[in-house]
Amino acid sequence: MKILVTGGAGFIGSAVVREIINGSRDEVVNLDALTYAGNLQSVGLSADSERYVFEQVNICDREALDRVFQQHQPDAVMHLAAESHVDRSIDGPAVFVQTNVVGTYNLLEAARAFYLQLSEEQQQNFRFHHISTDEVYGDLHGTDDFFTESTPYAPSSPYSATKASSDHMVRAWGRTYGLPILVTNCSNNYGPYHFPEKLIPHMILNALDGKALPVYGDGLQIRDWLYVEDHARALLTVLKNGQPGETYNIGGNNEKTNISVVETICSLLEELVPNKPAGINQYRDLITYVKDRPGHDVRYAIDASKIKTELGWQPQETFESGIRKTVEWYLSNSVWWKNVLSGEYRLERMGSGR
């Protein structure tokens, strides 16, 4: 199979690329515009494989998308390219509308034009897999409620509203034009190569630097955390075995308050890096409560029973094992995050080619 992965230089996309190259014989075309969130170093050694090619293309550029489809003739699309940071979407929603809505529309149209040229057998095997988030469902207030595949959409932020819009278009292109689509909605991911603006890496790196650990509001917002490599394996399971037209929710059943995540990181750092920056007694002393984010959702929790029972997927990491691996990864991969923090990674763009 040749898989066109959009956003393959991002956090989850790069995990998908590594999983395909290391765990299968499939080929990857990594299509990414390399925005601030894209970093080809995250693909790691997989970039050296004969089965990997990179295309620096923006999904808003329809002509370039048509050229990529014609040149590479993919068997499937896994669409992860997106603007993904909620705080940025509040400060500047325009680029979210552009990439998540207009870009997804362009990609759907390019995929549809390509699909129409395929033989009947190729059409049957073709898949357009759209990767989305549980944030499209809004938030939950009780403790025993879960998002299922039929939970109505109620997005709260510009980010989740644009993702919701893209989900609706993908389903409409399936229903109206017969494009064999798959949609997955996943909970919060964490793990290696996570951009330092996101909660977990931000806390690890600030703590190592003796800086404040800013926690929004009371820190009691609940997220359901999934280790990124478990998500990548789930996505490939859905791509290979999912029923066209269906939606699958993906989650780790690891509900944690934000403050307990930060406290866990502090405890792990106490154990792994006991030599603290000057003047710091305990890492947890760095925790500082800051004004809450507007529209901040209270609780997300995924019911992942459909993908588990129908497709046999199970996460391999618990939160405890995954967060330890993550902290250890940041401790032993300072070259990667120092390059990101300094902005060096943007100067080192390798251009096209492998």
Ligand X SMILES: NC(=O)c1ccc[n+]([C@@H]2O[C@H](COP(=O)([O-])OP(=O)(O)OC[C@H]3O[C@@H](n4cnc5c(N)ncnc54)[C@H](O)[C@@H]3O)[C@@H](O)[C@H]2O)c1
Q: Which residue of 3, 4, 5, 11 would you call a contact of ligand X, by CB under 6 A?
A: 11
Strands 222-224 and 255-257, bridge-based pairing: antiparallel
Distance of closest approach, residue 207 Cβ to ligand X, in angstroms:
21
80 near ligand X, judged by CB under 6 A: yes
Rg for the chain, CA atoms, rounded = 20
Residue in 9, 118, 6, 116 with CA at minimum distance from that of residue 61: 6
Q: Which residue of 163, 202, 233, 256 would you call a contact of ligand X, by CB under 6 A?
A: 163
Q: Which residue of 17, 59, 68, 203 would you call a contact of ligand X, by CB under 6 A?
A: 59
Q: Which residue of 46, 58, 221, 254 would you call a contact of ligand X, by CB under 6 A?
A: 58
35 near ligand X, judged by CB under 6 A: yes
d(CA 126, CA 124): 6
Q: Is the Cβ–Cβ distance between 99 and 25 less than 8 Å?
A: no
326 near ligand X, judged by CB under 6 A: no
Q: Which residues of 116-129 are buried (b: 16+ CB within 10 A; e: fewer)?
A: eeeeeeeeeebbbb
Which one of the listed residues 52, 137, 159, 300 is annotated catalytic? 159
Distance of closest approach, residue 263 Cβ to ligand X, in angstroms:
20
Q: Which residue of 53, 131, 207, 239 would you call a contact of ligand X, by CB under 6 A?
A: 131
The phi, psi pair for 240, rounded to 5°, reads: -80, -35
84 near ligand X, judged by CB under 6 A: yes
Is 27 assigned a catalytic role?
Answer: no
Q: Is 350 in a helix, a strand, or coil?
A: coil
Which one of the listed residues 134, 230, 263, 297 is annotated catalytic? 134
Q: Catalogue the E-assigned strands of the chain.
A: 2-6, 27-32, 52-56, 76-79, 127-133, 181-186, 189-190, 213-216, 222-224, 226-227, 247-250, 255-257, 287-290
d(CA 267, CA 270): 5
Q: Is 328 in a helix, a strand, or coil?
A: helix
Spell out, one character per residue from 165 to 194, where the chain touches ligand X: x when CB under 6 A holds, - when not.
---------------------x-xx-----
d(CA 127, CA 140): 32
9 near ligand X, judged by CB under 6 A: yes
Candidates 117-125, 131-139, 214-222, 297-305: pick the segment binding ligand X (CB under 6 A).
Answer: 131-139
13 near ligand X, judged by CB under 6 A: yes
103 near ligand X, judged by CB under 6 A: yes
Report the residue number, 106 or 206, with the smaller CB distance to ligand X: 106
User: CB-based burial of residue 59 (10 Å sphere; 0-12 exposed, 13-18 middle, 19+ buried)?
Assistant: buried
7 near ligand X, judged by CB under 6 A: yes
Report the residue number, 21 or 286, with the smaller CB distance to ligand X: 21
Is 218 assigned a catalytic role?
Answer: no
The residues carrying an active-site annotation are 134-135, 159
Chain contacts with ligand X (rule: CB under 6 A): 6-7, 9-13, 32-35, 37-38, 58-60, 80-84, 99, 103, 131-133, 163, 186, 188-189, 195
